[in-house]
Every structure is written in C-alpha cells, then in structure tokens.
Structure 1
C-alpha cells in the first residue's frame, strides 16, 4: 500500500513547475543577457554597416523579322549569353583584377515579349563595374544581332532580285499573265518582310532600382532580437541542464 504514494511522490519530484522554470531562468539570466545582446548587437552592426544593394537592369529588344518572329530565338540568345559571352567577360575581369566578378548577371526573357532582361544586384560602389559588364554583353549581343539581320536582309534582297529577273523574263511571253501576277505577289510579300525587319534596340542601360533590395534595416534588427531572445532562453536552460549533469556525474 505504501508503494503507490512513493511512486507518485517520485513522479512529482521529476515534474518541472513554472516556478522551477522561472528560478532556472533567473539563475542563468547572465547567460540569457549575454546571448540576447550579442545577437542584437550583431544584427544592428549588420543592418547599419553592410552596404545596401540595388538591382541594376538592362533591357534589350531583340531583332525581329516581322512582329512575333525573332531573327534569333530568345532561348538561343540567353544560352549564348550565359555560356559564352558572360564566362568570357568573367575570365577577362579575373585576369585584370585578380579576383572574380563580385556580382552575378541573370538573363530572363519575359513571357510573350521580344525582350532580354539583364539584371545584377550590387552596391553603389560596384555600380560602375556593373555598367561596364552590362555594356560589354550588350555590345556582344548587338554585334551578333546585326550580323544575323544582315544575313536575313541579304537573303531577302537576293530573292527579291531573283523574282524581279523572273518577272522580266515572263513579260516576254504573251500568255504569262497569271505567272507574272503570282511572281509579283511573292516579290511584294518579300519586300514587305524586308521593310518590317526591326533591328535590336537597347531600351534601358543598367537602370538602378529606386529602393534597396532585401529586407529593411528595422526588420533585420527585429529578427536579430527575436533570434537572440530564443537563443538566450535556450542557452539558459542548457546551462542548467549541464550543471545538473555535472552534479549527477560527480555524485556517481
């Protein structure tokens, strides 16, 4: 009969009440304050001393043979930028500065548009380097697009010239009216295509965002305080756990 009350007393002894928790917290409050204020100070230092970053955007309108028909597909252009021209520029930069390019350059083709969006995140101090990098890539793209436009125009002009010669030959026949009309129609269609070719156009050059990107300074400080609060509480109870374990080990 006496075993049950003893078991209950043992279980009660193992339970931790709110008073015990408060006592443990007060006992190790210095640890809590140390962790909390350390995290808060680090958060403030990070928020106010790490330079803001801005987004720099360059927009390029690709050359089109006619509206909606690209001379070079956007996917092909982006693949060339990512795998050829950007690595070449990164190698040039590293060779001249003995360090890698300090920012990334991302390329996107917004859906259902003829645009290539080139973007980088960098501090104000790095803005000139961003402009140089974007200008280099735009220059490479412009040379490629100009060459492709020249090829397309040359092909169309050759076809138009050939059709003009064909019309001249057909005019010498009396019964070639239908053939002449069809050939002239094809030539007019090619001439319209030639006139509708739009070269590459640079719409924006390294345009800086009006606001810094990333979390606001106040949010960083608040998050640092919350992390410090949680870390401080955990550290206080961990210190109590460690002291109890040391006492148990010394007793054994």
Structure 2
C-alpha cells in the first residue's frame, strides 16, 4: 500500500515534456517580449558602438656589436608591461579620473630585435593612443640610451688602456707578438664602438587599414541566441511565480 502511494506521488511530481510544452505555449508572450527586448538591445549596441581600429608602433632595440641587442627584447617588454605602462596608466588616471580606455600590448616578432606596441581603439582616442605609445617609446629610448652610453664609456676606457699598452710595447725590441695582439684587440674594440646603434623607431601609432571591430553581425546573432535562452527561462519562471501565488492564495483561503 505504501509503495503504491509513493509511486503515485512520484507520478504526480513528474513533469512530462507535454506539460513543459503546454506551459511554454501558455506563457509564450513572455518569451516573445524577452526575446525582442534582448535582441533589440544587442542590435542597438551593434549599431551605435564606434568602429575600432588597431594602432601599432614598431621600434628596434639598441644594438651592440655583431647584431646583438644591448638588452634582450623580452626583458624590455617585461619592463614596459610591469613598470612603464603601470606608471603611464596611473598618471592618466590621476589626470583624467578614469582608466585608460584601451589596452597596450607589447610583443616581439620571432627572431627579430623588434618590439611591437599595439592597441585597439576608436578614432576618438587615436591621439591618446599616440601619446601613450610615444611615452613608452621615449622610456625605452632613454633607458637603452643609458645602456649605450655606459657601453661606449666602457669601450673607450678599454681602448685608452690599450693605447698605453701599445705605446709601452712600441719601444721594446721583442714585443712584436704582444704588440700585434694589442693592436688587433684595439681594432676590435674600435669596431664594436662604431657598431653601437641606438633605438630606432620605425612606426608610431599607425592605424590599421581595416577596422577590427565590432563584429556587428556576430553581436546580433549572439543577442538573438541569448534572447531565446533568457526568453524560455523567463516563460517558465513566470509560470512558476503564478503557480506559487495561486497556491499561497488557496492556502490563505483555506
């Protein structure tokens, strides 16, 4: 007897697909309203959001002898991201009372000494992007300029020291081999000094030919899908609320 009662209760608690379909049909106007509102909101966002473009800057890090960078691009990028960009963002927030309206990404094209700064923004902020990129480039130039200056001073000291050694060896009778090595070393250092190359800025905040966003068609499609899902949920939620109120009213009347 108890088993039969429990099975009957389970059957009463079960909700069939037919019941779900009936609920959805009965509350379909809720689905329509939610679907239309969400889809129109997505359409409005797609239509009124400004076009975005990519702005890219390109620079080549300073070079010492034999094409070697005076500082590895990865180290420069780490300094940009963790120090200089933070300083620039903080200053912008203090001056404008808002955060930067775009991100700045730094990368190093494989097997090059190049550093690429890129930002995605609308044309209204194009000058701001240029200012930020220029500031970061100036920081790199200043930092690497100091490294070049230190390298120049080091090479000049070594050359001056070798000049004294050469002068001392020139007066000795059996110093030919040592003199030749000293002269060869001086020539090598002078070549390294000549090969020192500062940071070269190739491009500053160049705007992409094609816009990068927003993808309006995709936004509308996603808004439609979201509207459908939220609409179905809203229809069943509305039915649930109606039934709860009816039950509460019935209990109150009893």
**TM class, shorter-length:** 0.7 to 0.9
* Residues 86-95 or 239-248, more deviating: 86-95
Residue 24 of structure 1 deviates from its aligned partner by 1.0
Q: Does 1:78 align with 2:69?
A: no
Q: 1:86 to 1:15 in 2, by over 3 A?
A: closer
**Distance change (3 Å), C-alpha of 1:14 and 1:140:** closer
Aligned match of 1:218: 217
Range with bigger deviation, 32-41 or 58-67: 58-67
String of CA shifts for 1:44-103, please: whole Å, max 9, x gaps.
011111112222111111001124532234344334434544344445444544444322
Give the structure-1-normalised TM-score.
0.86
TM-score, reference length from structure 2: 0.85
CA distance in 1, matches of 2:96, 2:244: 55
Aligned residues of 2:49 and 2:214 also touching (Cα < 8 A): no
Gaps of 5+ in 1: none
Equivalent in the alignment of 1:69: 68
RMSD: 2.6
Map 1:45-64 onto structure 2 (within 5 A). 45-64=44-63
Alignment of 1:136-215 (within 5 A): 136-214=135-213
Alpha-carbon distance, 1:218 to partner:
0.4
91-100 vs 219-228, greater mean Cα deviation: 91-100
State how far apart, in whole Å, the 2-side matches of 1:10 and 1:144 are.
78
State how far apart, in whole Å, the 1-side matches of 2:235 and 2:115 are: 54
- Cα distance in 1 for residues equivalent to 2:102 and 2:233: 37
Tell me which moved more, 214-223 or 86-95: 86-95
Q: Corresponding residue for 1:248? A: 247
Q: Which moved more, 1:84-93 or 1:167-176?
A: 84-93
User: Which is further off, 170-179 or 67-76?
Assistant: 67-76
CA distance in 1, matches of 2:2, 2:91: 83
Secondary structure, counterpart of 1:70 in structure 2: coil
Aligned residue-pair number? 251
| Alpha-carbon distance between aligned partners in 1 of 2:29 and 2:87, rounded to the nearest angstrom | 55
Structure 2 residue 102 is matched with structure 1 residue 108? no
Between the aligned partners of 2:75 and 2:130, the Cα distance in structure 1 is: 24
Aligned to 1:43: 42
